[in-house]
Structure 1
Amino acid sequence: MKKLLTTAAIVLAGATAASAEGELQLFNWGDYTSPELLAKFEAETGIKVTLTDYDSNDTALAKVEAGGGGYDLVVPSANYVPIWIEKGLIQKLDLSRLPNHKNIAPEWRDVPWDPGRQYTVPWQWGSTGVAVNTDAYSGDINTSAIFMDPPPELVGKVNVTPEMNDVLSLALWYVGGEPCTEDTEILKKARDALLAAKPKWLSMDYGMTTKMAANDVMASVYWNGAIFRARLQNPKIKYGYPREGFPLWMDSVALLTDAQNVDEAYKFLDFIMEPENAAMISAFARYANGISGSDPFMPADMKDAPEIVIPDEFKSAGHFLPTCSKKAQEYYTAIWTELQK
């Protein structure tokens, strides 16, 4: 997820060693795609890639569902994949065209959101937690209280990323509930707690890799890889795993039903399942990937990074988010709308 919002599309053109002709339209989260990866793909295939960024699962879904963009590939999060399938927006993959499908790590081959990996291939995975600048706060950071009940040192200095499902799931766990609940009492409790906390926040924004590194924000709900990148610039930044519960996620690449550049899309899907290329994706955005054999190519500093390796004491608190029912999603949207007023 995991990503900074960017406004420009990246267009790569002019391969010198082309072995194929064509174009590819990739619709992905902002600041999440390695330019070096795209340059390598273009050099090897001659396929020009146009990358368009989005800032949330809901943004991507709404744009494609409305028929906009003309994209070939999209990168939804795990709990959104069933929605894309149900709406008929992505198509089942022809695995015979993906010889590198065998490289998907065993634990990611048969996942609840895409049994048998019939519709998607892994991009990256990670967690949503809380980041704190320890110059501002030296207390316990492994709690959602950082944003749900900010300590005095952090009041007016906290950012909450505007990703509805992550934020509401963290809030529901914090008040003793579970994500996607339809229990109106616990939903009200989470809503009230969020509304009470909001005046103590600085912002609801993206861009925390840059802003936390520059000391513009002292704490944030954000994604682990982006905070890893911020910590490399500012060692005072630490990443916390809320013991009350925190989301795990995997973003995967899917072929849109109305894709125009299908052959090119299959080439790209197979390309990113090469271990060395998967490692290139991770090296840029600083998240783990789901491809066996990529470890030898990974940056050494990722192998024991605290943002990547979840401490044993918090592993049981991490959960992949379910796909919410229509009613639960309506409750979520109502709360989110009120929170953003």
Structure 2
Amino acid sequence: MKKTLLLSVAALMASTALASAQGVLNLYNWGNYTSPELLEKFTAETGIQVTVTDFDSNDTALARIRQGGHGFDIVVPSDTYIQTWINEGLFVPLDMEVVTNHGNIAPQWVDVEFDPGREYTVPWAWGTTGVIVDTSVYSGDINTADVILNPPPELAGRINVIPEMSDVMAISIYYHGGERCTDDMDILRQVRDTLVSAKPNWLALDYGAVDSYAAGDFAAGVYWNGASMRVRLQNDNFAYGYPETGYPIWMDNAAVLADAQNPENAMRFINFILEPENAALISNFARYANGVTGAEEFMDEVMRDAPEIVVPEELVAAGRFGQSCPQAVNDIHTQIWTELLQ
């Protein structure tokens, strides 16, 4: 009798734990990038509680998932890293019986090079990486990488650079006339020398700098367009520039992890963010475009003609979408980046 009772209690506890697990979702995303309103709405509609853990770079996210034992269900890496995740078997294909809103992905974002046909990923947000400048401190041309790589005296010592290797390397390579995945050692040596020479003029390498810019702690930097818009909305002295020598265009993408503990809930969330009004919540919070057809009508009016969102016509051609570079090229970039950070 006692044994039967213990077994019954154990069974009850196991079923309770299972029910609890079915009501949770663990999201691994960039810091300050997930709309609280989005999560509240998802929980209200599904009963699933979402926990968000932040990462600060693509390399950090990839290393954490490779280790295993992380407990995350969904991750949001950038386009240039997606093929690595897929090749290493870290994602599961989307369950199209659950992800019924797959057709809402804007046509230009469906047959993408990094995930043809969107078998594994869906758009989270997309944007550009350029320069941000406090125009009350510096009144010169801001559509140039010189702001960061060869800064004027008034900006020296007041510069923040996002510590994202792919973005900073790309801007520097374009500045020297190369393409993203160049293996031209002459260009790469120039990139290394320029970055190492510029670094003493930088005050910090920091991701979460919106409030610091708005408070005037930084006067210029390499930054993303949406984050730059958030700065400007707090302090209208700031403006966003598109380096005329070239700037990255990128897309962050949500995918379900192969070792997800709550895969069904993850697929439901993936489907949820493909609803236009929900995709707009992502954009309204982080201030980036989203890649979902019909989301524009639900987005804040302030975004529709924002200079951080609408690229000046004469600088459109300077934008370049990311590439997944060969490993040999990535190794060289990593060597340069490691030297820079020392």
Report the TM-score range of the alignment, normalised by the length of the smaller protein: over 0.9
The normalised TM-score by structure 1 is 0.93
| Whole-angstrom distance in 2 between the partners of 1:207 and 1:119 | 28
Aligned to 2:266: 265
| Whole-angstrom distance in 1 between the partners of 2:45 and 2:73 | 19
Report the CA distance between 1:96 and its aligned residue: 2.5
| Whole-angstrom distance in 2 between the partners of 1:49 and 1:208 | 25
| Whole-angstrom distance in 1 between the partners of 2:263 and 2:207 | 32
1:208 counterpart letter in structure 2: A
Q: Are 2:267 and 1:229 aligned?
A: no
1:217 aligned counterpart, secondary structure: coil
Q: Are 2:204 and 1:203 aligned?
A: yes
Q: How does 1:247-258 map to 2 (within 5 A)?
A: 247-258=248-259
Q: How does 1:154-165 map to 2 (within 5 A)?
A: 154-165=155-166
Aligned to 1:189: 190
Aligned to 1:291: 292
| Whole-angstrom distance in 1 between the partners of 2:36 and 2:98 | 25
Report the CA distance between 1:64 and its aligned residue: 0.2
Aligned to 2:105: 104
Q: How does 1:1-341 map to 2 (within 5 A)?
A: 21-341=22-342
| Whole-angstrom distance in 1 between the partners of 2:33 and 2:151 | 29
1:249-307 deviation line (CA, Å, top 9, x unaligned): 00010111111211101110110001110001100000001111111110000000000
User: Runs of at least 4 residues of structure 1 off by over 6 A?
Assistant: none
| Whole-angstrom distance in 1 between the partners of 2:335 and 2:296 | 43
| Whole-angstrom distance in 2 between the partners of 1:262 and 1:176 | 45
- Conserved 8 A contact 2:31-2:208: no
- Conserved 8 A contact 1:161-1:222: yes
| Whole-angstrom distance in 1 between the partners of 2:210 and 2:258 | 34
| Whole-angstrom distance in 1 between the partners of 2:93 and 2:265 | 16
- Conserved 8 A contact 1:159-1:202: yes
Identity %, equivalent residues:
57
Deviates more, 1:172-181 or 1:134-143: 172-181
1:180-222 deviation line (CA, Å, top 9, x unaligned): 2222221111000111111111111122211111110000100
- Conserved 8 A contact 1:245-1:319: yes
1:94-147 deviation line (CA, Å, top 9, x unaligned): 223211111111111111111001110110000000000001100000011110
| Whole-angstrom distance in 2 between the partners of 1:132 and 1:240 | 8
Aligned alpha-carbon RMSD (Å): 1.1
- Conserved 8 A contact 2:134-2:238: yes
| Whole-angstrom distance in 2 between the partners of 1:256 and 1:339 | 32
1:311 counterpart letter in structure 2: P
Report the CA distance between 1:92 and its aligned residue: 1.4
Report the CA distance between 1:318 and its aligned residue: 0.6
Deviates more, 1:62-71 or 1:137-146: 62-71
- Conserved 8 A contact 2:158-2:219: yes
2:101 aligned counterpart, secondary structure: helix
| Whole-angstrom distance in 1 between the partners of 2:206 and 2:24 | 33
1:160 counterpart letter in structure 2: V
Q: Which has the higher Rg, Structure 1 or Structure 2?
A: 2
Give ranges in structure 1 of 5+ residues lacking alignment: 1-19
1:105 counterpart letter in structure 2: A
Deviates more, 1:31-40 or 1:62-71: 62-71
- Conserved 8 A contact 1:225-1:308: yes
* Matched length: 322
Aligned to 1:5: none
- Conserved 8 A contact 2:133-2:220: yes
- Conserved 8 A contact 1:208-1:222: no
| Whole-angstrom distance in 2 between the partners of 1:302 and 1:284 | 11
- Conserved 8 A contact 2:22-2:262: no
| Whole-angstrom distance in 2 between the partners of 1:314 and 1:34 | 30
Report the CA distance between 1:34 and its aligned residue: 0.3
1:7-33 deviation line (CA, Å, top 9, x unaligned): xxxxxxxxxxxxx95211110000000
- Conserved 8 A contact 1:208-1:227: no
The normalised TM-score by structure 2 is 0.93
| Whole-angstrom distance in 2 between the partners of 1:200 and 1:107 | 39
Give ranges in structure 2 of 5+ residues lacking alignment: 1-20
1:117 aligned counterpart, secondary structure: coil
1:274 counterpart letter in structure 2: E
- Conserved 8 A contact 2:211-2:231: yes
Aligned to 1:4: none
